[in-house]
Amino acid sequence: MALVVQKYGGTSMGSIERIRNVAKRVAKTYDAGNDMVVVVSAMSGETNKLVALANELSEFPDAREYDVLVAAGEQVSIALLAMCLKSMGYKAKSYLGFQIPIMTDSSYSKARIEEIPDNKVRADIKEGTIIIVAGFQGVDASGSITTLGRGGSDTSAVAMAAALKADVCEIFTDVDGVYTTDPNICKDAKKIERISYEEMLELASLGAKVLQIRSVEFAMKYNVDVHVRSSFNENLGTMVTKEDKEMEAVLVSGIAYAKDEVKIAVMQVPDRPGIAAKILSPLSEANISVDMIVQNVSEDGLTDFTFTVPQADFKKALSITKETAEAVDAKEVLCDENVTKVSIVGLGMRSHAGVATKMFTALAAEGINIQMISTSEIKISVVVDAKYTELAVRVLHDAFGLSK
Ligand code: ASP
Ligand code: MG
């Protein structure tokens, strides 16, 4: 007998018919002799509706009340699922975040889970009850409702699994698992059977949207095996787990792309110590995170300093940078919104030479110009003209043998 945590996302819970389908799947796993905790999201579209209401009311909705509002969708879905299971003759009980309680810090809309006491849930499980938990929400030390950020139910599920030392955490979603790249762009994309936490973290932060990034961090920290799979069929999905020898042998496991970054270049700044800090610190003070950074070799004591920021922060970043540029006597500030970051990710890169060369050669063969480059141990990212996004992804997918 195992303890299984299952999580069903908004699409899987999207209608009464689909909730019935979820209940059947839960019942089947329970009937096979497992203890069960089920974490669910709001029905698809519901959270967006609540967000829209808040935005209609105010440009800057109060942070505490905003979380009270957007957490509401999950209350509906836990009740419906528990009702459904009870009508099928099972013992089931719904829990809101604060009832467990899922304790978090007080950073509304991006709260971090700090602790989950397991006594209530364990007592119920002992009596054969199926536990249904509202994802996405928690409670802070003062008793206020908090939420974990969009897509946060993934993190709720992994955290429940960690707290209960569950045998597995199954994340049921509307895709079959994690793919080698976006199947909408590349028809040869393949489902990955097993992927390491580190690779999954990179892929998630580079734009693959299957799992919330924080859920992967949580899984890695507490060593929770996460099985991402479809709620619409019985196929095995992707196991996100500790790295092993086999994974290390794979040079590149996935290709990701992110269109939501923009490039800002400060042209002909005097090249002297402290310039990078001068340009970047006002941005970090404004809470804008800078991703890629390139500084050119200087000529006649002048250099160009280029970086990327999230699209959402573009306007603010540009006006801040223009001010700095003036203060440091730079010639001008240029920007380009039509760029995409394309990345290759794989554990095998750590021990193989020539991966970057292979990537750059493949892109060059298609006449794709690389504007910026950044690397980590298991990732190489390049910034290219946005019009080459699809082509770049496909070419790299082929070049690293992922299409076979
Ligand atoms: N319902 C929340 C959202 O739409 C949480 C989740 O689905 O994971 O972001
Ligand atoms: Mg999701």
Indicate the top mutation candidate among 13, 76, 136, 211 to test ligand 1's pocket, ranked by most ligand atoms within 8 A of CB.
136
CA of residue 5 relative to chain centroid, distance:
19
**Secondary structure of residue 260 in the 3-state scheme:** coil
Residue 73 in contact with ligand 1 by CB distance below 6 A: yes
CA distance 200 to 305: 31
- ∠ Cα 176 17 160 (to 5°): 55
CA distance 17 to 316: 45
Burial zone of 223 (CB within 10 Å; 0-12 exposed, 13-18 middle, 19+ buried): exposed
Confidence of residue 167 (pLDDT cuts 50, 70, 90): very high
CA distances from 124 to 36, 91, 95 (A): 10, 9, 11
Indicate the top mutation candidate among 8, 47, 74, 147 to test ligand 1's pocket, ranked by most ligand atoms within 8 A of CB.
47
**DSSP bridge partners of 95:** 133
Give tens-digit pLDDT for 59-100. Answer: 899 999 999 999 999 999 999 999 999 999 999 999 999 999
Measured by CA distance, the residue closest to atom 6 of ligand 1 is 151
Check residue 404 and give its pLDDT. 84
Give tens-digit pLDDT for 325-345. Answer: 999 999 999 999 999 999 999
- For 357, residues 6+ apart whose C-beta sits below 8 A from its C-beta are none
Check residue 299 and give its pLDDT. 85
Check residue 246 and give its pLDDT. 87
Residue 152 in contact with ligand 1 by CB distance below 6 A: yes
CA distance 188 to 108: 41
> For residue 52, is pLDDT > 80?
yes
> For residue 287, is pLDDT > 90?
no
Confidence of residue 217 (pLDDT cuts 50, 70, 90): very high
Sign of the C-alpha dihedral computed for residues 208, 170, 404 and 189 taken in this order: negative
The structure tokens 């500084």 sit at 295
The two tokens of residue 237 are 């999905």
Residue 10 in contact with ligand 1 by CB distance below 6 A: yes
The structure tokens 């976006």 sit at 182
Q: Left if phi > 0, otherwise alpha if psi is -120 to 50, otherwise beta: which for 213?
A: alpha
> For residue 207, is pLDDT > 80?
no
Q: Which atom of ligand 1 is nearest to the CA of 136?
A: 5
**Secondary structure of residue 287 in the 3-state scheme:** coil
Confidence of residue 1 (pLDDT cuts 50, 70, 90): confident
Measured by CA distance, the residue closest to atom 4 of ligand 1 is 47
Mean pLDDT calculated for residue range 353-369 = 96
Confidence of residue 360 (pLDDT cuts 50, 70, 90): very high
The two tokens of residue 211 are 């799992």
Check residue 297 and give its pLDDT. 85
Residue 42 in contact with ligand 1 by CB distance below 6 A: yes
> For residue 378, is pLDDT > 90?
yes
Check residue 109 and give its pLDDT. 95
Check residue 249 and give its pLDDT. 86
Sign of the C-alpha dihedral computed for residues 16, 18, 22 and 27 taken in this order: positive
Please provide residue 376's backbone torsions phi and psi, each rounded to the nearest 5 degrees.
Answer: -135, -175
Other CB atoms within 10 A of residue 277 CB:
9
Percent of the chain with pLDDT over 90: 90
User: Ligand 2 mean position to 42 CA, how many Å?
Assistant: 10
Residue 61 in contact with ligand 1 by CB distance below 6 A: no
Q: Which atom of ligand 1 is nearest to the CA of 153?
A: 8
Check residue 115 and give its pLDDT. 97
CA distances from 308 to 145, 190, 316, 318, 389 (A): 35, 30, 13, 11, 17
Give tens-digit pLDDT for 298-317. Answer: 888 999 999 999 998 999 99
CA distances from 248 to 1, 243, 244, 350 (A): 32, 7, 7, 8
> For residue 206, is pLDDT > 90?
no
Check residue 12 and give its pLDDT. 95
Check residue 331 and give its pLDDT. 96
The two tokens of residue 82 are 């528990």
> For residue 241, is pLDDT > 90?
yes
Check residue 248 and give its pLDDT. 86
CA distance 48 to 51: 5
Check residue 351 and give its pLDDT. 87
> For residue 254, is pLDDT > 90?
yes
Measured by CA distance, the residue closest to atom 5 of ligand 1 is 151
Instruction: Judge whether 104 and 145 are in contact, CB under 8 Å.
Output: no
CA distances from 31 to 109, 128, 130, 306, 350 (A): 37, 11, 11, 58, 44
CA distance 267 to 380: 25
CA distance 136 to 155: 8
Instruction: Judge whether 244 and 286 are in contact, CB under 8 Å.
Output: no
